[in-house]
Amino acid sequence: MFYREAGQFKTSYKADQALLPILQDRIGLAVILLTAFVLIPVFANDFFLTSIMIPFLVFALAAIGLNVLTGFCGQLSLGTGAFMGVGAYAAYKLTSIFPDANVILMVLLSGVFSAAIGAVFGLPSLRIKGLYLAVTTLAAQFFLEWCFIRIPWLYNYNASGAIEIPRREVFGVIVSGAEATPIARYFVVLSITAGIAYLMANVLRGRIGRSWMMIRDMDIAAELMGIRPLQTKLMAFAVSSFICGVAGAMMVFFWLNAAEPSSYSIRLSFQILFMVILGGLGSLAGSFLGAAFIWILPVILKFVPGLMGIDMAAETVEHATFMIVGALIIFFLIVEPHGFARLWQIGKQKLRVWPFPY
Amino acid sequence: MRNFKQLALGTAVAAGVGLSGILTSAVQAQDANYVPLLTYRTGPYAGSGIPIANGMHDYLAMLNARDGGIGGVKIEIEECETGYNAQKGVECYEATKGKGAVVYNPYSTGITLQLIPKAGVDKVPVLSMGYGLSAAAVGNTFPWIFNVPDTYWDGASVVIKYIGEQEGGLENLKGKKIGYIFLDAGYGREPIPLLEQLAEKYGFELLKYPVPGAEMQNQSSQWLNVRRDRPDYMVMWGWGAMNPTAVKEAVKIRFPMDKFIGVWWSAGDDDAAAGGEGAKGYKALNFSGVGSDFPALDDIKKHVIDAGQSSTDAESVGSTLYNRGVLNSVIIAEGIRTAQELTGKKVITGEDMRMGLEALNLDEARLKELGLSGFAHPMKVTCEDHAGSHPVFVQEWDGKKWRQASDWIEPMTDIVRPLLEAAAAEYAEKNAPWPARTEPCPN
């Protein structure tokens, strides 16, 4: 009833193949964009922007990156954290070599470096599949992490081994460094994430995306139909690493301000992987939902006891949050192994036939 | 399954409550000085973090219970769990700074590094007591950061000085091998530039054994190398689970324990106790009192622990790290008191607190008044020097407890200070445009 597309006629191929052919979807997206670009900046406080929205968008972008590789092309990867790190260190080196260049451009450019490195580590994917490929990407994770610690050139010979982000202005607005306002950083992160998500939405339903999905569903059949596996898989690795690299660079430039190699450890890889699995493999919306679940929920849950007037020690809250989130992960995986994206689809279906379920 | 569903529903409701709380939480009108404590009682570093968190909390709670706070105004204490994780630390910082925080104690070099650029912008000082960025001691470059009583470089110079004493003079260090085992993070790498400088000056060989944070409970390969290299002394910069593991491994390879010296963060009771009987003789630096024989600690027992307002068990009062936490809170409390005196205000802001810390003068008379005579070396902060390079002592583990094994040893200020100045200048240059100091000097 609420979601019925009956009566919405398409009179051209263009309209039929639009990104969102159904009116309700377009309204929904407009509402989300309005909230993100207008309502949140107007009403949210600094904490909400810096500790919830910015990390959420960064993680959502990283989840999109991994989803391209794992969800759409079917190549399991455990190297996401390291590829994000490559982006971060590349962007850091670029801004220290070209201090006057536009920092947003540098962040986007850093993705090229992680794409190149991702493609190199994607080479074994032609011969190795499944869990074995996961092990080779794990090797990438450890090797790159080792580089971040052991190659002092990467962090400009800083005694503490951390990269610290200097102040940079874009069109007269400070966007990185400690003086950057949360609003400015939020808008940069939001624009980059929304832009890349829009781009990927179109790539994924076009020729390139379809060839990835063919490889995922049955690589031999895909090969017989004229898809070249090496190029396709490498392209998936490169695109995925590019997005992850941009996310990693944004993570340190617009969120953390400083990062140690441990910020890009295997923990981060698993965190992103869980976002993708929980959100839904092979779904862009799922990447956002998964990131929201893994990042936002624990942060918010921490505030609940205090607001309800219950006096709980900080570490007890931490433990409780851990347990609740853990239990919820199990719950959702039992109820819907295909993730939140699938739950949302089921929900749409229910709305369509409401109030006469069958 | 139904329980699961209820859990899911309950969480959704809870998340809604939490979200509305975050969005509406405004700055409350306050009649207390709000001190957020970034602590970690969970994760791999909890072993070191818990006694410190207890010590910090208990002293402030004792002031509230005994004196009604400081200057007649209560201290509002709130702990935020960081898990020694820099991201969570920043999250805690963002969550608490809006409530009028007067000072931050990150208890992690990683979190401190993140907060250093923010402190001047948000006008809240950072007190990194004996940790963090060594160069932050240069007050003219870092007006908002305080690392009293000592920087890591002071500590490293004391270790070398002490080893020199054992060998009968610093000139005898020539040709000796000194091993340095450290947590491979910002914290453990901080003293390396100074140690390298000293190695060059005194002609000893510095052997480095990094221990990655993820593998700090498995140090067999590092200690295998130690056995092969046979260093004359071992120096350790460890934290959390790394300390007890290292002591255990040192005992296992029969390294002479009296030649194994830890920094003040490797001086926990549990750290040394892990080595059992074989750990006897293990040494560590320290700058906060040994034992619980101080009137102020008795007050803590009486007003806080016996009143059931703390998660400390009575035996751990007086352990090295607990006392360290207490000393940290003493500095906070004295900073607040000094700020109240300087400004005449009862409820102070971060800016007032900065002045208070900069004018801090904890002399022998004041320590006695606090019931902490001999608990710490008298310390004084100046506008130029936020660390003060105060003397530290070496303590030794006798198999059951720590006892003081040396007098107060002065750091090699003549070597450390110029290096600190150079490092501060370098930091400012790397992070250009670094703001020049505009804050007035209260002294």
Six token digits for residue A151: 């190659």
Considering the domain boundaries, does residue A152 fall inside one?
yes
Of A132, A128, A141, residue with least CA distance to A229:
A128
For residue A117, give its domain range.
44-264
- The answer to whether B233 touches B205, Cβ cutoff 8 Å, is no
CB neighbours of residue A146 within 10 Å: 13
Give the model's pLDDT for residue B226: 93
Look at residue B389 and tell me whether its pLDDT is greater than 90: no
Give the model's pLDDT for residue B327: 93
Six token digits for residue A341: 């994206």
Å between A236 CA and nearest CA of chain B: 30
Give the model's pLDDT for residue A1: 65
Considering the domain boundaries, does residue A333 fall inside one?
no
Alpha-carbon distance of A217 to A154, in angstroms, equals 39
Residue B177 bridge partners (DSSP):
B205
Q: What angle do CA A299, A304, A310 make, to 5 degrees?
A: 140
Look at residue B5 and tell me whether its pLDDT is greater than 80: no
Alpha-carbon distance of A173 to A35, in angstroms, equals 23
Express each pLDDT in B26-36 by its tens digit. 444 468 899 99
Alpha-carbon distance of A68 to A63, in angstroms, equals 9
Alpha-carbon distance of A279 to A341, in angstroms, equals 6
Q: Which residues contact B206 (CB under 8 A, 6 or more apart)?
A: B178, B180, B195, B196, B199
Extended beta strands in chain A, E state: 163-164, 168-170, 173-176, 258-259
Look at residue B237 and tell me whether its pLDDT is greater than 90: yes
Q: Which residue in B21, B189, B213 is closest to A307 by CB distance? A: B21
Whether residues B81 and A45 touch (CB distance < 8 A) is answered with no
Of B52, B15, B10, B21, residue with least CA distance to B265:
B52
Task: Give Cα separations from B394 to A123, A316, B233 (angstroms).
Answer: 55, 36, 15
Q: Which residues contact A98 (CB under 8 A, 6 or more apart)?
A: A106
Give the model's pLDDT for residue B243: 92
Give the model's pLDDT for residue A348: 85
Query: What percent of chain B lies above the pLDDT cut of 90?
Result: 47
Six token digits for residue A32: 């989300």
Considering the domain boundaries, does residue A350 fall inside one?
no
Taking residues B286-306, report their average pLDDT: 89
Express each pLDDT in B347-377 by its tens digit. 999 999 999 999 999 899 999 999 998 899 9
Whether residues B110 and A260 touch (CB distance < 8 A) is answered with yes
Look at residue B7 and tell me whether its pLDDT is greater than 70: no
Considering the domain boundaries, does residue A336 fall inside one?
no
Å between A356 CA and nearest CA of chain B: 24
Q: pLDDT class for B21, splitting at 50, 70, 90?
A: low
Considering the domain boundaries, does residue A202 fall inside one?
yes
Of B408, B411, B406, B413, residue with least CA distance to B166:
B406
- The answer to whether B242 touches B211, Cβ cutoff 8 Å, is yes
Six token digits for residue B96: 């608490």
Give the model's pLDDT for residue B284: 93
Taking residues B215-240, report their average pLDDT: 92
Of B18, B205, B237, residue with least CA distance to A48:
B18
Q: Which residues contact A116 (CB under 8 A, 6 or more apart)?
A: A238
CATH 1.20.1290.10 assigned to domain B32-150+291-390+421-430? The reply is no
Express each pLDDT in B96-123 by its tens digit. 888 889 999 998 888 888 888 888 888 9
Alpha-carbon distance of B282 to B259, in angstroms, equals 7
Q: pLDDT class for B392, splitting at 50, 70, 90?
A: very high
Taking residues B45-66, report their average pLDDT: 91
Does the N-terminal peptide bond of residue A337 adopt cis geometry, omega within 30 degrees of 0?
A: no
- The answer to whether B332 touches B127, Cβ cutoff 8 Å, is yes
Give the model's pLDDT for residue A170: 87
Alpha-carbon distance of A215 to A218, in angstroms, equals 5
Q: Which residue in A164, A166, A327 is closest to B113 by CB distance? A: A164
Least CA distance to A268: which residue of chain B? B87
Considering the domain boundaries, does residue A344 fall inside one?
no
Q: Which residues contact A129 (CB under 8 A, 6 or more apart)?
A: none
Q: Which residue in A45, A46, A319 is closest to B42 by CB distance? A: A319
ipTM: 0.80
CB neighbours of residue A338 within 10 Å: 17
Run of H or E including B79: strand B75-81
- The answer to whether B372 touches B329, Cβ cutoff 8 Å, is no
pTM of the full structure: 0.87
Whether residues A300 and B18 touch (CB distance < 8 A) is answered with yes
Q: Which amino acid is at B50?
A: I
Of B230, B235, B258, B232, residue with least CA distance to B156:
B235
Q: Which residue in A160, A256, A304 is closest to B18 by CB distance? A: A304
Six token digits for residue A80: 């996401």
Q: Which amino acid is at A180?
A: A
- The answer to whether B389 touches B414, Cβ cutoff 8 Å, is no
Q: Which residues contact A40 (CB under 8 A, 6 or more apart)?
A: A48, A49, A53, A186
Q: How far is CA A195 from the centre of its chain?
A: 13
Of B168, B178, B226, residue with least CA distance to B204:
B178
- The answer to whether B148 touches B390, Cβ cutoff 8 Å, is yes
Q: How far is CA A337 from the centre of its chain?
A: 20
Residue A164 with chain B: CB contacts under 8 Å: 113, 117, 430-431
Q: Which residues contact B124 (CB under 8 A, 6 or more apart)?
A: B97, B101, B102, B103, B104, B144, B350, B353
Q: pLDDT class for B20, splitting at 50, 70, 90?
A: low
CATH number of B152-286: 3.40.50.2300
Q: Which amino acid is at B391?
A: P
Q: How do beta strands B283-286 and B177-183 pair?
A: unpaired
Q: Which residue in A51, A162, A313 is closest to B94 by CB distance? A: A51
Least CA distance to A150: which residue of chain B? B184
Run of H or E including A96: helix A80-97
Express each pLDDT in B57-70 by its tens digit. 999 999 999 999 89
Domain count, chain A: 1
| Average pLDDT in chain B | 88
Å between A117 CA and nearest CA of chain B: 24
Q: Which residue has the tokens 């949302």?
A: A344
Å between B311 CA and nearest CA of chain A: 9
- The answer to whether A278 touches A296, Cβ cutoff 8 Å, is no
Express each pLDDT in B192-221 by its tens digit. 989 999 999 999 999 999 998 888 889 999
Q: Which amino acid is at B106?
A: P
Alpha-carbon distance of A61 to A54, in angstroms, equals 11
Express each pLDDT in A76-118 by its tens digit. 999 999 999 999 999 999 998 998 889 999 999 999 999 999 9
Domain with CATH 3.40.50.2300 in chain B: 32-150+291-390+421-430, 152-286
Whether residues A331 and B193 touch (CB distance < 8 A) is answered with no
Give the model's pLDDT for residue B26: 45
Angle between helices A54-66 and A284-291 (to 10 degrees): 140
Task: Give Cα separations from B382 to B143, B295, B354, B387 (angstroms).
Answer: 11, 29, 12, 8
Flag residues of chain A having pLDDT under 70: 1, 358
